[in-house]
Amino acid sequence: MHIDRRELLKLLGFGGVVLGSGLPGFSLAASKGKPPEDFMFLQLSDSHWGFSGPPNPEADKTLKETVQAVNASKLKPDFIVFTGDLTHTTDDDALRRKRMTEFKSIVADLKVPKIYYLPGEHDASLDKGQAYQENFGALHQSFVHKGVHFIALDNVSDPSGAVGDTQIDWLKSELGKLDKDAPIVILTHRPLFDLAPAWDWATADGAKVLSVLEPYRHLTVFYGHIHQENHRTTGNINHHSAKSLMFPLPAPMSVPKKAPVAWDPQHPARGLGYREIEVKDKGRALNLEEYDVRGGRV
């Protein structure tokens, strides 16, 4: 599969592009007789549709511009996954549903075969996921794409930010069907590890979830919530967060009080950037390259 690098970088400016063959374990699956079929998907996150305020005076434009940019690209991802906080929270149930309807209407224009959604706490915590399920379906799910197993976990509909024992049992059941060398992608909103618990950047029972995941040797986690790229390894597992489509947040615990990075009118797309993930060592290693939104390497 040939990918035009300029197109790739352009797309990466709005989220994370992941090459299927770049996932740990992918080539191993291929060597066991499965077709070595490359594919690509996009991770978009934290669009916070409905937000308004100084951190993004163009809040009603960013998501629409992203949709246009993805559609204008020559690249055609197999699917897109939104890793939560599709909408910005509100105490008003009717307004929450209105925002979800508007969000769906905007992303319906994406020219992509399939979109998967995950809830964020802004979508699902205040009503335990009721409006989310009405609009987007199940709070957690699994699917297989070209030999890669995807498991989307819900760590937000419980307002304490826990996955919960019932879902952990389901996760064990899903993983129990798989070989320990199977390529697996876990999708979540919150980080599963304690990135910055004092900033609520953690999952209440994340340690329990990670103990279930740890035996699987080729497992990668993609998440959102923290509005910036972050790359961390726990045991065998690599964790990669995505940028937001609304406003960036500061690096974990880098300032006394967590608050959105101030809007810069000279650089309205600040905080948008891209991450390239390439395959190395027959799919067993990830080569990550970070770029700013204008194409300069960071």
Nearer to another protein, 157 or 220 (CB): 157
Phi-psi region of 53 (alpha: psi -120 to 50; beta: other; left: phi over 0): left
Nearer to another protein, 113 or 159 (CB): 159
Nearer to another protein, 170 or 199 (CB): 199
Q: Which helix (H) or strand (E) holds 135?
A: helix 130-136
Q: How many residues bind another protein (CB under 8 A)?
A: 22
Classify residue 47 as exposed, middle or buried by CB count within 10 Å of its CB (0-12, 13-18, 19+). Answer: buried
- Buried-exposed string 141-166: b where 16+ CB fall within 10 A, e elsewhere: bbeebbbbbbbbbbbbbbeebbbbee
Q: Examine residue 235 and tell whether it contacts another protein (CB under 8 A).
A: no
> Can you tell me which of 18, 156, 187, 293 binds another protein, judged by CB under 8 A?
156
What backbone torsions phi and psi does residue 198 show, to the nearest 5 degrees?
-70, -20
> Can you tell me which of 57, 113, 137, 159 binds another protein, judged by CB under 8 A?
159
Q: Which stretch binds another protein (CB under 8 A): 10-18, 39-47, 108-116, 256-264?
A: 256-264
Q: Show the tokens assigned to 23.
A: 């996932």
Map the footprint of another protein across residues 91-120, applying CB under 8 A.
91
Q: Which helix (H) or strand (E) holds 63?
A: helix 62-72
> Can you tell me which of 70, 118, 126, 226 binds another protein, judged by CB under 8 A?
126
Spatial CB neighbours of 229, under 8 Å, sequence gap ≥ 6: 240, 241, 242, 243, 273, 275, 290
Q: Examine residue 254 and tell whether it contacts another protein (CB under 8 A).
A: no
Q: Examine residue 121 and tell whether it contacts another protein (CB under 8 A).
A: yes
Q: Examine residue 88 and tell whether it contacts another protein (CB under 8 A).
A: yes
Pairing of β 40-44 and β 15-19: antiparallel
Q: Examine residue 163 and tell whether it contacts another protein (CB under 8 A).
A: no
Q: Examine residue 262 and tell whether it contacts another protein (CB under 8 A).
A: no
Report the interface residues with another protein, using CB under 8 A.
Answer: 88-91, 121-122, 125-126, 156, 159-161, 194, 197-200, 204, 256-259
